[in-house]
Amino acid sequence: MTSIRKNKVFMGLLYILVFFLLSEWLRPVIELTETGHHRLFLAFVALGLVMAFFDIPWWITGPLKLFYILWFIVYVYTGNLFFTAESIRFVVEQASISLSALFSQDWQATTDVFRTVLFFALLWMAIYLIHYWVSFRLSIFLFYLLTVIFVAVLDTFSPYSGDAAIVRIMVIGLLLAGLLHLARWMERHGAAAKTDKLLVFSIPLLLLLVASTALAFYLPKADPIWPDPVPYITSYSGKGGVGEGGVGRIGYGVDDSQLGGSFVSDDATVFRAEVEEGQYWKVEVKDVYTTKGWELSEEDADEQLYRNGDEVTTDFPPAGEERSSALVDMQLPFPFVLYPYGTASFLMEETLDYRYDPVQQRFDTLQENTAFEPDVYEVFYSEPSYSLTALRETDTEQLSELPPEYDRYLQLPDELPERVGELAEEIAAGSDTVYGQAQAVERYFGTNGFEYSQSDIAIPAEDQDYVDQFLFETQRGYCDNFSTSMVVLLRSLDIPARWVKGFNEGEVIDTVDGYDVYEVTNNNAHSWVEAYMPGVGWMMFEPTIGFTGSSSIDFDLEIDASEPEEEEMPDRPEPEPEAQPEQPDGDAGTNASPTVGERFLAFVSEQAGKLIAATIVLLLLAFMLFKIRKKWMPKVLIPYYRRKVGDAETFEKAYLRLLKQLELYGIKRAPGQTLRSYAEYVDSFFGTKEMTKLTAAYEKSVYGGDAESVDWPKLKESWENLINRTSG
Amino acid sequence: MKATERLGKVIDNIEKVIIGKREIAELSLVALLSHGHVLLEDVPGVGKTMLVRALAKSVGADFKRIQFTPDLLPSDVVGVSIYNPKDMQFHFRPGPIMGNIVLADEINRTSPKTQSALLEAMEEASVTTDGVTMQIPKPFFVMATQNPIEYEGTYPLPEAQLDRFLLRVKMGYPTREEEIEVLTRSQSIPPIEELESVLTLEELLKLQEEVRTIRVDDTIRTYIVELATQTRRDPYVYLGVSPRGSIALMKAAQAYAMLKGRDYVTPDDIQYLAKFVFGHRIMLRSEARYDGITAEELTERIIAKTRVPVQRLVNQ
């Protein structure tokens, strides 16, 4: 029989293809590590393959390759084309440095030359492996698959772009795999390996390859369905960047000009507060909406300087004379103090100034005009309360009479899509008071299918508006989405509003002297809304679903018994039907927020096509796996049972598994066949004695009820041996 | 010495005189160990008598032989009370049944009355004459033979009485080589005379006790019952295996397992013994006879299609 391996033309073709495949490995490595002399490395690969192809004995190829490596080093590092005394000295010197570094295990001290040698050794090994696969195994599939994975991974996670490489690999790899399959087939059937015959046989392969490549090229391709998972993965590896898109780490940040993107939680404690009641902690506000996020207007404002204990003036005056106090113990250094609504004064051991900027509304802490990061401070406050009567008199007419300093709280970008304003009108349609409109907007999110989530959050594209995207497309987001949207909606209704940053209550971790100790972590970083109610003042609103902070309302209404309307009840979880604005989707019948079940059903009906497709693919995959389980089961079973405790139960299970595997393998056991006669048959089939041995032990355990007699560790070897045979 | 080795010696001993009949020797021992009796069915001259005599000699048992003829009376089997004028009393003269190992030759030649006397004695292991019950010495083992060829002047045993036999075994002709060996041996002194006992009766009785301790797992019991049930359901069968048949199979399997050196019964034991235990307990319809199916073949079919229990029962 003339082996196909003797056909030099065919094998030569294979080696050429292998060379291209190997160079696909080399290319990204060289590109990513910024190694030069790509050609010289390729030449080494080519040299290795050529020598392997001609079956040159190792005692020639070895020194030749070594010589090449030496020459490469000399050429690249010393610039000499030939070995000169100087270059040889260089090589010797390098070798001694690297060797001594190696022996002293000082890996950092090894030189570039040494690394080059290592890289060559790796290439050498790769060439040998490939040579083995192609010439002896006549199978390249594993290498082919690894190449695809390698390039795909590099393309995904590194700057290397594998767009063209993957196509080349597919074509080369398929051709190679196809030819090798042909070779195996011819070998198995003892077909004469004539070149012309091989050519004839390869024609369908080539045609198919050309056709599939052409189809792949010219057919329209769908965009990826899933979002790019890489930012998410890299964020877990601790390399995620905050800010510019991608996944951020939750927490208090200064730059809000680019909102959007997912968050991963961060449990770092920011501060602990001893308070009577959970408070929202305000840090600052921002007033300029940029379609992508928030910035601070550059207007000058008269900064106020306060000292310890001074009564401060904010937009939220304390409710009365009685003061609550809160002790704040900062864990992270911030050059400002966090303050609750209705703050009256601060107290700290250190002597310092609190600088309050009415635009930013932040209390910076300064010690001799330099930023100071407070450790512990006490803040006195009295939470403001709002008269419902007054709130119900906030007439929208009054909005037009507001002084010009409120204009900046009405700022909206020109690019804001019109439908945002239209939506705001729609939401506000049912209410004629400013407060009613603000409340309608606040409640809007809870009842219209919006979803709170920190993961998988869209980032607006170049030409997209952050609010518009959230309101009309994604309807999925966290506090920034909700609060920003509310501010924009309110401003569309000419209600002055601004965006507030700070922290929510946190979690109670302890109780000291009747005070609750709240721990506030980076996860509690939050944003909400302040809106101006004409005649009443600034008021905070909490549009984010799932959060409960809100202004406290003084129910001073003299409710007329004949008046059934109680729309101003601030318990948002149960919105009154009357208070509801006409909803844009016309779904005015039910005002309760959709339940999880409903939302799930909605999701299913929306995504039905994809879900069905995914299910079919999964089923197919499962079916395929089931079909070829004979092949992979032993690989799973052996490690599984190897780890197991060596008792009779394990053995019995393993034995029954083996029976199943044997059945899959094709050695069927008739229903009336006893284990012993089956075992004898199996052993005669494989030429072993192991099945009989196992069966005797199994019979003793099951029929004899003698579980103690089972010595699984001893039987394991026989079992593994047999189960391995079944995968063949 | 272990039970299996001792029993192996008995079989080796028997093999010294009977050539190529190890299986029959084993089955006889199985019946002997499980208090059962064997019905040997075959043509004359294949060594039935020799087998039983060798067995009796090997275990040092008292061997009796009853040749059944049409004129044999029950009293010829069980014994008779004779008036002794000296002391003016009846004295019981035990019949040939009062032995340890009894060969009941050509049992189908005698009248049903005599047959039933024998079978009753086999079942009860005692005889009653003139109101006196006499225990038959233990161990008690009857090997009955019948000639399946001759029908003239025979009284075939009723099925209900066949049930009394633990096993029905067919002897069969020896192979060519075996028969040549038989001829060679028969030229010298009959070896049966030289046979010595390798097992005492006491040891045998002890082994009989020991057989009861052989473990029969629930799976095996289920399997036996399943097989028996299948015989009752088979369309060819007129009357299937009785529960007594199931018990017989279990007991025989216990003895067989002991013989094979195991202290538990395996499905292989059951499968091997089923045709010997069930063969004479199944009454076939005439359709089966037209189709040329014997009870043994039917048993094998049932074995082939009944699922062998390979897993421990879960809800034990």
Residue A562: the pLDDT is 46
Stretch B2-28: mean pLDDT, rounded?
Answer: 84
> What is the reported pLDDT for A564?
43
Question: Per-residue pLDDT tens for B40-97?
Answer: 887 777 778 888 888 888 888 888 888 888 888 888 888 888 888 888 888 888 888 8
Of B268, B271, B308, which is closest to A671 when you measure between CB atoms?
A: B308
Kindly list the residues from chain A whose CB atom is less than 8 angstroms away from the CB atom of residue B220. 703
Strand-strand pairing, B167-170 and B38-41: parallel
The pLDDT assigned to B191 comes to 67
Q: Residue A582: pLDDT above 90? A: no
Q: How many CB atoms within 10 Å of residue A219?
A: 7
Residue A357 predicted with pLDDT over 50:
yes
Q: If DSSP codes are grouped into helix, strand and coil, which group holds residue A135?
A: helix
pLDDT bracket for residue B120 (50, 70, 90): confident
Smallest Cα distance from A668 to chain B, Å = 13
What stretch(es) of chain A map to CATH 3.10.620.30? Answer: 269-555+571-584
Interval A615-661: pLDDT, tens: 899 999 998 888 887 778 788 888 888 777 777 778 888 888 888 88
pTM above threshold 0.80: no
By CA distance, what is B312's nearest residue in A? Answer: A702
Q: Which residue has the higher pLDDT, A529 or A219?
A: A529
Name every chain B residue with its beta carbon within 8 A of the beta carbon of A659.
310
Note whether A682 contacts B: Cβ–Cβ < 8 A: no
CA distance A709 to chain B (A): 13
Is A677 in Cβ contact with B266 (below 8 Å)?
no
Residues of chain A with C-beta less than 8 angstroms from the C-beta of B263: 704
Question: CA nearest B216 in A: which residue?
Answer: A703
- The residue ranges of every structural domain in chain B are 3-206, 212-305
Residue A128: is its pLDDT beyond 70? yes
pLDDT per residue over A652-706, tens digit each?
888 888 888 888 888 888 888 888 889 999 888 888 888 888 888 888 888 888 7
Question: A interface mutation test: which of B306, B308, B311, B316 has the most A CBs within 10 A?
Answer: B308
Q: Phi, psi at residue A552, to the nearest 5°?
A: -90, 135
Of A703, A705, A706, the CB nearest to B266: A703
Chain A nearest-CA distance from B256, in A, is: 14
Q: Which residue has the higher pLDDT, B25 or A710?
A: B25
User: Is residue A588 over pLDDT 50?
Assistant: no
For residue A584, the model assigns a pLDDT of 44
pLDDT confidence bin for A230, thresholds 50/70/90: low
Residue A94 tokens, joined: 């390098």
What is the predicted ipTM?
A: 0.84
Q: What CATH number is given for A269-555+571-584 in this structure?
A: 3.10.620.30
Q: Is the pLDDT of residue A315 over 60?
A: yes
User: Is B304 close to A652, i.e. CB distance below 8 A?
Assistant: no
A522 to chain B, closest Cα gap in Å: 54
Cβ under 8 Å to B: A residues 443-502: none
> Residue B303: its chain A contacts at CB < 8 A?
672
Q: Which of B217, B268, B311 is facing A674, going by the closest CB pair? A: B268
Q: How far apart are CA A67 and CA A63, in angstroms?
A: 6
What is the predicted pLDDT for the residue at A234?
55
**Cβ within 8 Å, pair A676-B268:** yes
Interface of A with B in 628-657 (CB under 8 A): 652, 656
Cβ distance A702 to B265 less than 8 Å, yes or no, reads: no
Handedness of CA B156, B162, B164, B167 (dihedral sign): positive
Quick check: A517 and A511 in contact, CB under 8 A? yes
Instruction: Tell me which chain A residue has its CA closest to the CA of residue B223.
Output: A672
Using a pLDDT cut of 70, give the percent of chain A over it: 87
Name the residue with higher pLDDT: B24 or B45: B24
pLDDT digits (tens, 9 = 90+) for B174-233: 889 888 888 888 787 666 777 888 888 888 888 888 888 888 988 899 999 999 998 888
**pLDDT(A168) > 60:** yes
Mean pLDDT across chain A: 79
A677–B contact, CB cutoff 8 A? yes
**pLDDT, tens digit, for every residue of A290-301?**
888 888 877 667
Is there a contact between A285 and A530 (Cβ–Cβ < 8 Å)? yes
Q: Rounded to an integer, what distance in angstroms lies between the CA atom of residue A15 and that of residue A126? A: 13
Which amino acid, A257? S
- Which one of B219, B262, B303 has the shortest CB-CB distance to A672? B303
Q: Is the pLDDT of residue A246 over 50?
A: no
**How many Å is the Cα radius of gyration of chain A?**
37
Q: What is the pLDDT of residue A573?
A: 44
Homologous superfamily assigned to B212-305: Magnesium chelatase subunit I, C-Terminal domain (1.10.8.80)
In sequence order, the 6+-apart residues with CB closer than 8 A to the CB of A696 are A676
- Tell whether A674 is within 8 A of chain B (Cβ): yes
- Best mutation target among A647, A691, A703 (most B Cβ atoms within 10 Å) is A703
Residue in chain A lying closest to B226 (CA): A672
The 10s digit of each residue's pLDDT in A409-459 is: 888 888 888 888 888 888 888 788 888 888 888 888 887 888 888 777 778
Identify the band that residue B252 occupies on the pLDDT scale cut at 50, 70 and 90.
very high
In angstroms, the CA A250 to CA A256 distance is: 12
Q: What is the mean pLDDT of residues A280-285?
A: 87
Q: What is the pLDDT of residue B256?
A: 92
Name the closest residue on chain A to residue B215, using Cα atoms. A704
**Per-residue pLDDT tens over the stretch A517-567:** 888 888 888 888 898 888 888 888 888 887 776 677 776 655 444 444 444
Q: What is the pLDDT of residue A1?
A: 43
Q: Which residue has the higher pLDDT, A348 or A228?
A: A348
Q: Which of A652, A676, A704 sits opposite B264 (nearest CB)?
A: A704
Domains B3-206 and B212-305 share a fold: no
Residue to substitute from B217, B266, B272, B273, interface A, most A β-carbons within 10 A: B266
Q: Which of B217, B308, B311 sits opposite A672 (nearest CB)?
A: B308
Per-residue pLDDT band at B150 (split at 50, 70, 90): low
Lowest pLDDT segment from A533-547, A567-581, B143-157, B161-175: A567-581
Chain A CA closest to residue B302:
A672
pLDDT for the residue numbered A233: 59
Set of chain B residues whose Cβ sits within 8 Å of the Cβ of A676 = 266, 268
Mean pLDDT of A606-621: 85
| Nearest chain A Cα distance for residue B76, angstroms | 46
Residues of B in contact with A652 (CB under 8 A): 311-312
Q: Considering only CB atoms, which chain A residues are within 8 Å of B308?
A: 671-675
CA dist., res. A307 & res. A348, Å (int): 10
Q: Kindly tell me if the per-residue pLDDT of B250 is higher than 90.
A: yes
A611/A603 Cα distance (integer angstroms): 10
Q: Calculate how close chain A gets to B218, using CA atoms only, in Å.
A: 8
pLDDT band at A228 (very low <50, low <70, confident <90, very high): low
Q: Give the pLDDT mean for A352-356.
A: 84
pLDDT in tens, A467-516: 888 888 888 888 888 888 888 888 888 888 989 888 888 888 888 877 88
- A672 vs B263, B265, B304: nearest CB: B304
Q: For the purposes of burial, counting CB atoms within 10 Å of the CB of A248, is it exposed (0-12), middle (13-18) or buried (19 or more)?
A: buried
Got the DSSP string for chain B? --HHHHHHHHHHHHHHHSSS-HHHHHHHHHHHHTT--EEEE--TTSSHHHHHHHHHHHTT--EEEEE--TT--HHHHHEEEEEETTTTEEEEEE-TTSSSEEEEETGGGS-HHHHHHHHHHHHHSEEEETTEEEEPPSS-EEEEEE-SS--TT--PPPHHHHTT-SEEEE--PPPHHHHHHHHHHHHSS-GGGG---SS-HHHHHHHHHHHTTSB--HHHHHHHHHHHHHHHH-TTEEE---HHHHHHHHHHHHHHHHHTT-SB--HHHHHHHHHHHHTTTPEEPHHHHHTT--HHHHHHHHHHHSPPP-S--S--
Residue-averaged pLDDT of chain B: 85
Can you give the pLDDT at residue B225? Answer: 93
What does the pLDDT read at residue A240? 39
CB-CB neighbors (< 8 A) of B257 in chain A: none
B316 vs B123, residue with greater confidence: B123
Query: Chains A, B: CB contacts under 8 A, how many?
Result: 56
Query: Is residue A284's pLDDT more than 50?
Result: yes
Question: Sorting pLDDT into bands at 50, 70 and 90, what band is B261?
Answer: confident
**How far A689 CA sits from the closest chain B CA (Å)?**
19
What integer pLDDT is reported at residue B253 of this predicted model?
A: 93
Does residue A226 register a pLDDT over 80? no
Q: Does B264 sit within 8 Å of A705, measured CB to CB? A: yes
Q: What is the pLDDT of residues A20-55, one digit of tens each?
A: 888 888 888 877 776 777 888 888 889 888 888 888
Please give the CATH number for the structural domain made up of B3-206. Answer: 3.40.50.300
Mean of the pLDDT values across residues A7-19?
Answer: 85
Confidence of residue A335 (pLDDT cuts 50, 70, 90): confident
Q: Is the pLDDT of residue A329 over 60?
A: yes
Q: What is the pLDDT of residue A369?
A: 78
